[in-house]
Amino acid sequence: MKLFKFLAREGHTSPFRHAIAQFEVYAPLMVARQWWKYVVGSAYYEGTGDSLDAWNESSRRYITEEPVFYTPNGDEWRSKPVSSKQGSGDIISWELGEKHTQELLAYIELGMKKYEQALADGICAEQARLFLPSYGMYVRWYWTASVQSIANFLVQRLEHDAQKEIQDYAKAVLELIRSIYPTSLEQLVSQEKAVALN
């Protein structure tokens, strides 16, 4: 325990890069694109020709998976933030939220019809997918990361001002990883930012 504390406190983080975890994640594309920022690269095992890819996402080119979309309920739409250019403010009225939920559902339905028609007309899946509304569409990927990288993700995405949707995923990652690497996480994630570590 003393060694973990010393290494983390002094910034000697290379030992934390040797412990890894892999997650299969299913999330809206808007969450996946924020998460992508935490890919650190891949490790190459000398002499074997094998590599450990940090991110492997389903592209819908070869795997047929029914498209699923994230659609906020009427009481989940948030207003623009008052004092910054990004992020969100308070929940808007249910009536206005419900209006936008219905508009989004109609938009998704139109995209799905065009996607299915393109497939029916013999268009290849890799081009037919252009008709799918993208940012709300769920994608599936494997994320392989070191404990140091996971801690960095948690520090930033458990913050109160992180986008709510990715915050929810960060909480799930924390629940899954804390029982495997409790000491490393405790040392790498500062006490001010680790909302749920204690």
Instruction: Report the pLDDT value the prediction gives residue 10, as an integer from 0 to 100.
Output: 67
Q: What is the pLDDT of residues 35-77, one digit of tens each?
A: 988 775 444 444 444 444 467 777 766 666 789 999 999 999 9
Share of the chain above pLDDT 70, in %: 77
In a domain, 97, yes or no: yes
Domain membership of residue 99 as a residue range: 71-135
Instruction: Report the pLDDT value the prediction gives residue 8, as an integer from 0 to 100.
Output: 65
Compute the average pLDDT of residues 4-8: 66
In a domain, 158, yes or no: yes
Distance, in Å, from the CA atom of 102 to the CA atom of 143, rounded to the nearest integer, reads 33
Compute the average pLDDT of residues 100-120: 97
Q: In the 8-state DSSP scheme, what is residue 181? A: S
In a domain, 61, yes or no: yes
Distance, in Å, from the CA atom of 153 to the CA atom of 174, rounded to the nearest integer, reads 10
Instruction: Report CA torsion sign: 130, 132, 133, 135.
Output: negative
In a domain, 140, yes or no: no
- Given 93, 112, 135, which residue is the final one in a domain? 135
Answer whether residue 110 shows pLDDT above 60: yes
In a domain, 99, yes or no: yes
- Helix, strand, coil tally for the chain in percent (to 5): 45, 15, 40
157 is catalytic: yes
Answer whether residue 9 shows pLDDT above 60: yes
From the candidates 33, 60, 140, 157, give the one annotated as an active-site residue. 157
Nearest to 152 by CA among 175, 119, 168, 174: 174
Distance, in Å, from the CA atom of 69 to the CA atom of 73, rounded to the nearest integer, reads 12
Cα atoms found within 13 Å of the Cα of residue 87, Cβ hemisphere only: 13
Compute the average pLDDT of residues 157-167: 92
Q: Which residue has the higher pLDDT, 148 or 51?
A: 148
How far from the centroid of its chain's Cα atoms is residue 146's Cα? 16
Answer whether residue 167 shows pLDDT above 90: yes
In a domain, 86, yes or no: yes
Number of domain units in the chain: 2
Long-range contacts of 155-159 (CB under 8 A, 24+ apart): 155/188, 155/189, 155/190, 155/193, 155/194, 157/34, 158/193, 158/194, 158/195, 158/196, 159/193
Question: 0.85 cut: is pTM over it?
Answer: no
Nearest to 189 by CA among 178, 180, 179, 25: 178
Q: Residue 196's domain is classified under what CATH number?
A: 3.30.1360.170
Q: Are residues 174 and 121 in the same domain?
A: no
